[in-house]
Structure 1
Amino acid sequence: MVETLLTPNECHQQSPLLFWTIIAVGSRKYSENPTLIILLGPKVSKLAKLALFAQEPVLLTIQAFLLLCSWPMPFEALSNDITPVLAGAVLQLATTIGLHVSGVGQEFARTKVNQDLTYRMARGRLWAACVVVSQSRVITVNGTPPLVIPDTYGDDSQELSTFMTPSFQFQKKVSEYLSMTILYIQNHALYRPADELDLALSPIIHSATDRLVQLESDAPERIDRFHAMSARLHLLSFHLFKHRSAIEDSTLLVMYELACRTIELAMELDSELSMAEYGPMYITKFLHSAVITILRVGRAAVAQQLDLERGQRNYFAVINYHKRHAVRPDDAFARFSIILTQLWTSRKVFQYSNGLVDSLRVRSKARLGMSMVYDCFWWWRQEFGGQSNVYGDHHGDENSNHILDDFAPSLDSDQLDLVDLNLTPIPDLQWPVFDKFFTENWPSLDLDMSI
């Protein structure tokens, strides 16, 4: 991602933000000094805020922001996560200097720009990184509308192949296709009346997911397959906005199977690449959709048609993945492992006031394809965070599952490196974890920024 060949001293001189971002990202799992990331995190975040309004060096600033979007500084709640802001800033900064236009950006410069081919290729690679990281890996998994910016590079042009690997080209294609499909769903189907929603929504989902199946078969690498599968599952989740009677059982079975396959592929990659420890954050965010799909579909009436043991095994794998991905014992991903555990063992989640358990109903569409995830954490807040039901006391769908009195989820200690379930829930929550947690007591930073 980082194109600079500068020496450390040169990098620090030209962009202290990029220099300290590289150091901080490298220190996330630095066992010889685990306090380093705690010291550097706030300083890097402060430098990032200052860089938003700096005129130069924009190219180095964009690279630093992309690194921070992929490996952010530790945060204790998603309300403190600055990656969505950085992702939007990346696209704005990139278009301001003309990265979306093939070439060297002469039309966006005040002086003559060197026409060097290496510089031209570096700009193209950086733009592709902006698209992939900002659109699908941050904005989409945040549940906000993607920012789709047309560029002049095309999909399969010879120019792309000169500076992008087949894997990166593939991920750019999947990212752009997912983003455009989400916007099309939002504009043409999502807010139709309930009796028209299925007719408007289903053809779009079917067409888009069929295309992603084709793309998946052409994936150059297994990590590319993971991205295509995650994109497909993201689009399939829009089915849960429909009335239960309009959701075919076959669709739910496909979602469950795809969620399991996505997690299993991620765990294979993790065993080879230690992705939980060193992989980017958005891998973990993609897994949220998969694990919540298993939770929801596994508690629906189709449960008897599912391989529930397989689903449980994958659900537990994601819990343990979160624990290993966490940088601090109190950061958001460590807390996610607790939340996912409590959701799994809960007997009240998805249970409405009329006694029905409706795990397939998503109470809000505001978070687009991530709504089923956000809605789950609102269920968690109601039961474990002392929060009231913000959606009102509506009844469950009469076509949904009945009370599952015999449902007793188990926790197999051989599969799950279990967190402490006897923790006292902390009130006054900020979705989905905690509003403020320890960071106000972090050490003051007077770091010597010289080398």
Structure 2
Amino acid sequence: MQLEQELQQLRTSVEQDSDQPIGDSGFMEPSTPTISAPSEAHTIAMPPRYESTQRAGIAADASVERTVLGTLPRKLGDFELPPRKIDGCIKEFFEFYADNLEGLFHGLQNPNTLYEYSPVLFWTIVYVGSRNYTRDPTILERIISPLQSVFQQSLFDPEDAIPSIQSALLLCLWPFPVDTLFKLRTHVISGAAMMLAMQKGLHISGKAQDFVRVPLSQSNVEKEFRKTLWMHCQIVFQSNSIYDGLPPRLEMQEEHLDDSEIAAEHSFLVYHYHLHVHFMRRYRLILSISDLSTEIGLRIIDHAKISFQQDICLLVELIDISPLRKFAYHSAMLLFGVFYFFCGPGTGRDDGIKQAYTSAIAILSDAKRLDEQRGFANHATHAHLRIVSLAAVVVLRVMRSHLAELVEESPELAESLYFEAIQLSKKSSVRLNDLGGRNASILTQLWSSARLFQFKDGSVDGLKLLLRGRLVRFHPFVRCVMAI
């Protein structure tokens, strides 16, 4: 009886609270009405600025707004940018970068609209667009320091979480340039942004109401956006960890395999997400084996790779295989293949490494083709460039081993593609001596070294591993990429 009375009091309290504005104190969400017809329900699934962008159709009226107002100059700390350069950087972003995060920037092409939606996201997009903005190459260097400070503050503002998460995704795909991997902030950023996304309930599809106190009124657009944002969070944040040799965060949510709420034009996102989910499932299986040098370890790797191929086969056959889709598929296959370097010597290991070598050749061929067609190296993500480097090192290792005479591809092809990886790294460099530039230099030195993979007994074995402290990304590198 007492329990029923307490429940009734709680219901009464909630009903009263829902009719009153909620203050700024505590952790309660602000109650912001939608711009649709007045009703008792509220919406906070997305920030009011993005909500107004979607529902008011600002995207459709952007050209009219720009004609009337024109792009306004903006200032970030002591750094001021005139309208012409703002337009140039944002145009560069939407032309070459935005497609990597399908569905996250709809309606934000107009600079004034974008700034009104989120100053932090505005400056992050300007930063990304400035990486190859040739009309003023000084923008990149001048914007980094003030943007770092402002972005860091935004991560601790839950009320403005969605733009902060969008900015975090961009900064993980195109990090601030550094001269060594140990200075990268992407893993700290991705960890904070992932927790911020979970605090907003993005990780539980269709359950946004459970994470706020006021009644919600979610449109289909809002539901699609939240689901799309969470899919990108999983792909980007987990992939960055894997490619940099760190454990991936968070188990995959199987319920998000339902892509019925994702717009048809975002087919690459759906494909990439399915690919990522199936890969992560097998990847975790391999990591659960403490010693891959045993026969059981070899069988687990074989099983994981074959079952992954079977799961993806139907998906690959049903859709148009674009160069980027091929690149993503071959990347996953290479990440499986490098585990064979941990296996004990024998036919099984050699066969697995030869398959990894084939994937590496395919990746470098895909990257070369993409660079010729669309300037891939100039706009490639951090993960893209890491996998290209991994492919190059796998090629180098095989060419410096007894398997060099057993692979189908010619030594001339392997050499030309390895050199292509060096050129891609050079093109990706945006600052003197950054990761792209240093990687190109190291790959050059490795190829030219006569003592590479030479051991104390005088033997040369490119398949032998010494460094095993980090995960799949660094395993085949041994003392190579760790020098960056």
TM-score greater than 0.5 by the shorter chain: yes
Query: Is 1:31 aligned to residue 82 of structure 2?
Result: no
Please list the CA deviations of residues 236-290 of structure 1 after superposition, one character each: whole Å capped at 9, or x if unmatched: 1000001222544433332222211111111111211111112222211111221
Answering whether residue 99 of structure 2 is matched by residue 99 of structure 1, we say no
In the other structure, the counterpart of 2:107 is: 5
Could you tell me which residue of structure 2 aligns to residue 438 of structure 1? Answer: none
Change (3 A) 1:309 1:224: same
Output the TM-score relative to the length of structure 2.
0.73
Structure having the higher Rg: 2
1:223-238 correspondence runs (5 A): 223-238=324-339
Task: State whether structure 2 residue 443 is matched by structure 1 residue 322.
Answer: no
How far apart are residue 233 of structure 1 and its match? 0.7
* TM-score, length of structure 1 as denominator length: 0.78
Which among 306, 313, 323 is matched to residue 416 of structure 2? 313
Structure with the bigger percentage of helix: 2
Query: Is 1:135 aligned with 2:238?
Result: yes
Give the structure, 1 or 2, with the largest relative contact order (CA under 8 Å, sep 6 or more): 1
| Range that drifts further, 194-203 or 359-368 | 194-203
Distance 1:144 1:215, change over 3 A: farther
Residue of structure 1 equivalent to 2:123:
20
For the residue of structure 2 that corresponds to 1:158, the secondary structure is: coil
Distance 2:190 2:213 in 1: 26
Opposite residue 319 of structure 1, the aligned amino acid is: I
**Structure-2 residue corresponding to 1:418:** none
SS at match of 1:50: helix
Tell me the alpha carbon deviations over residues 85-132 of structure 1, each in whole angstroms, 9 at most, x when there is no partner.
Answer: 222223222111111222371211232333222111111111111122
Alpha-carbon contact 1:20-1:44 (below 8 Å) kept: yes
TM-aligned CA distance change 1:51 to 1:432, over 3 Å: farther
CA RMSD of aligned residues (A): 2.3
CA distance in 2, matches of 1:77, 1:157: 38
Measure the CA separation in 1 of the matches of 2:393 and 2:313.
21
Alignment of 1:208-223 (within 5 A): 208-212=308-312, 215-218=315-318, 220=320, 221-223=322-324
Task: Spell out the pairing of 1:31-50 with structure 2 (5 A cutoff).
Answer: 31-50=134-153
1:396 maps to which residue?
none
Q: Equivalents in 1 of 2:348, 2:415: separation in Å?
A: 23
The reply on whether 1:198 has 2:301 as its aligned counterpart is no
Partner of 1:278: 379
Does the 8 Å CA contact 1:143/1:369 hold for their aligned counterparts? yes
Preserved CA contact (<8 Å) 2:268 2:325: yes
Relative to structure 1, is the Cα distance of residues 359 and 210 closer, same or farther in structure 2, using a 3 angstrom cutoff?
Answer: farther
The whole-number CA distance in structure 1 between the counterparts of 2:188 and 2:441 is 27
Secondary structure of the residue that 2:483 maps to in structure 1?
coil
Q: Which runs of 5+ in 1 are unaligned?
A: 379-430, 434-451
- For residue 178 of structure 2, the aligned residue among 75, 78, 82 is 75
2:434 to 306, 328, 331: 331
Distance 2:399 2:275 in 1: 28
5 Å-filtered alignment, 1:299-448, equals 299-306=400-407, 307-377=410-480, 431-433=482-484
Moved more, 303-312 or 209-218: 209-218
CA change 1:216–1:262 in 2 (3 A) is farther
Aligned ranges 1:114-263 → 2 under 5 Å: 114-136=217-239, 138-151=240-253, 153-160=255-262, 162=263, 165-187=266-288, 189-191=289-291, 194=294, 196-212=296-312, 215-218=315-318, 220=320, 221-245=322-346, 247-263=348-364
> How much identity, in percent, do the aligned residues show?
27
Match of 2:93 in 1: none
SS of the residue aligned with 2:456? Answer: coil
Query: How far apart, CA to CA, are the structure 2 residues paired with 1:217 and 1:369?
Result: 28
Amino acid at match of 1:432: A
Between the aligned partners of 1:260 and 1:267, the Cα distance in structure 2 is: 11
